[in-house]
Amino acid sequence: MLIRTPHPGAYLRPALERAGLTAAEAARRMDVSLNLVSEIQLCKRRITPRTAIRLSMVLDVPAIDWLRWQADYDLARARRRLASGKA
């Protein structure tokens, strides 16, 4: 059985709450669109290296953690697809 690995967006809401920020305020501080932050929170968008750096500048989470979570998610997703024959 394959274990589900969370999308890195699952970590964003708690990080925002710890920082006392709304998605809109985080987006403003990151100099990105609210849509980008919202789509990450909804697990609809990947975290790129640039986004990871911007997140790390606003939240108390290192950029490497965001990228590691994204890589873990991508790898788990690829494994699920291979296991189901949808490679």
What is the dotted CATH code of the domain comprising 9-79? 1.10.260.40
34-41 helix and 9-19 helix, angle to the nearest 10 degrees: 120
* pLDDT, greater one: 85 or 13: 13
pLDDT at 27: 98
pLDDT number for residue 73: 97
| Domains in the chain: boundaries | 9-79
DSSP assignment of 45-87 = SPPPHHHHHHHHHHSSS-HHHHHHHHHHHHHHHHHHHHHTT--
pLDDT, residue 87, reads 64
Query: 31 with 54: CB under 8 angstroms?
Result: yes
How does pLDDT run across 17-75, given as a tens digit for each residue? 999 999 999 999 999 999 999 999 999 999 999 999 999 999 999 999 999 999 999 99
Assessment of whether the complete model's pTM goes beyond 0.85:
yes
